[in-house]
Amino acid sequence: MPLKSSEDIRLGRNIEEDRIIEIVRQLSTQLSITRHWTNLESVFWLENPTRAVDWPTWLRNRRLGLRKELKEKLNPEEWRPLIASAIIHDVRLRKQRIVGGLTWLVASMVLLLAFVFYGLPLFFRITPMSVYHGPYPTLSIFYVVVTIGTFYLMAAATTPYAKRLKLQADKVANQELATGPELLTILNKIEGLSISPEQKSARLISRQLPISERIRELSKLLNVDRKGLAQ
């Protein structure tokens, strides 16, 4: 077994994590990406159930976040197609993600202001500022609920766009690196692993792309069934 260098010991890395880091750098070179992915230093195994189990994440301090449930269940090469899509989504589709975020924020603010300056006076015959003064405690609570509800509503409205960007990342990765067939195999393997109901429930309230949907769309792209067999 190869001895670890002092740098490996300092970073707490093992051989498999070193190989994953090498794969990240190889993919960055193949995709002509020079952003932070090329400066990756370590792998961090996440226990956060709100993180998608099938989607590697760039973390601060030059770390790659991978879900702990998959530790030692996927070998480094099996991480390759997952990481390829993640890199493309993070770097190539960055502008589209920013546009989606700004759309959510601006639309939420417009809807909220329209309610404050037109909805409240129309239905309650009061001025927006009077909600905070005088005998309007119920309306104050109602206003807070509407504010929170507005942001959740707009977040739900932009969720399909966020999911489409992840599917687009899979498509680009397949076009440039031919990762599609291998990715489909890995996704089926991940779907077959035992994940607690609490973790699945946590993902349902997030904007993450369900593995089943990712498999279905990738199968359509490759013109195969869910198991990768030609149709």
Name the average pLDDT for the chain: 79
**Residue 132 CA from chain centroid, whole number:** 38
17: which residues sit within 8 A by CB, 6+ positions away? 42, 43
In whole angstroms, what is the distance from residue 21 CA to residue 63 CA? Answer: 9
What is the tens place of the pLDDT at every residue in 23-55? 999 999 999 987 778 888 899 999 876 678 888
The pLDDT of residue 18 is 93
Higher pLDDT, 46 or 136: 46
Containing 227, the helix (H) or strand (E) segment is: none
- pLDDT band, very low/low/confident/very high, at 186 (cuts 50, 70, 90): very high
Percent of the chain past pLDDT 90, that is, above it, reads 38
What is the tens place of the pLDDT at every residue in 8-19? 444 445 899 999
The residue-averaged pLDDT of 132-157 equals 65
In whole angstroms, what is the distance from residue 184 CA to residue 152 CA? Answer: 32
In whole angstroms, what is the distance from residue 17 CA to residue 13 CA? Answer: 6
The pLDDT of residue 127 is 52
Collapsed DSSP state (helix, strand, coil) of residue 196? coil
Residues 37 and 7 sit within 8 Å (Cβ to Cβ): no
CA neighbor of 33 nearest in space, from 96, 101, 84: 84
What is the tens place of the pLDDT at every residue in 192-219? 986 654 444 344 445 678 899 999 999 9
pLDDT of 141 > 70? The answer is no
What is the tens place of the pLDDT at every residue in 76-100? 999 999 999 999 999 999 898 888 7
DSSP state, residue 179: -
pLDDT of 171 > 70? The answer is yes
The pLDDT of residue 230 is 60
Residues paired with 59 in a beta bridge: 63
Q: What is the DSSP string of 8-66?
A: HHHHT--HHHHHHHHHHHHHHHHTT--SGGGG--EEEEE--TTS-TT--EEETTTEEEE
